[in-house]
Amino acid sequence: MRVVAVASVEARRADVVRFVRQRFGRAPVTVYIDRSGRSQAAFRAPYHPEYRFTTKRGRLTAKAPRGFPLG
């Protein structure tokens, strides 16, 4: 599993990586800083952090990856 994290412009990369590590252990993570807000709007995320999941083909899905703590 690879994690792609899209973070707000106020976020620090190290904080995002720490957040991912707490939830996914050592999964590879790529951090994108959403400076324009376009990714946030495209994923209909009202604020960061907000979870959005995609299929392997990149389509939005409500299904969380196995082991993701939704509670």
| Beta carbons within 10 angstroms of residue 40's beta carbon | 19
Q: What is the pLDDT of residue 71?
A: 62
- Angstrom distance (rounded) from CA 61 to CA 44: 12
Q: Tens digit of pLDDT for each residue in 14-64? A: 998 898 888 888 888 899 888 888 888 887 777 766 777 888 888 888 888
Q: What is the pLDDT of residue 23?
A: 80
Q: What is the pLDDT of residue 9?
A: 86
Residue 51 burial class via C-beta count within 10 angstroms: exposed 0-12, middle 13-18, buried 19 and up = exposed
Question: Domain coordinates of the chain in residue numbers?
Answer: 3-61
What predicted TM-score, i.e. pTM, was given to this entire model? 0.62
Q: What is the pLDDT of residue 56?
A: 81
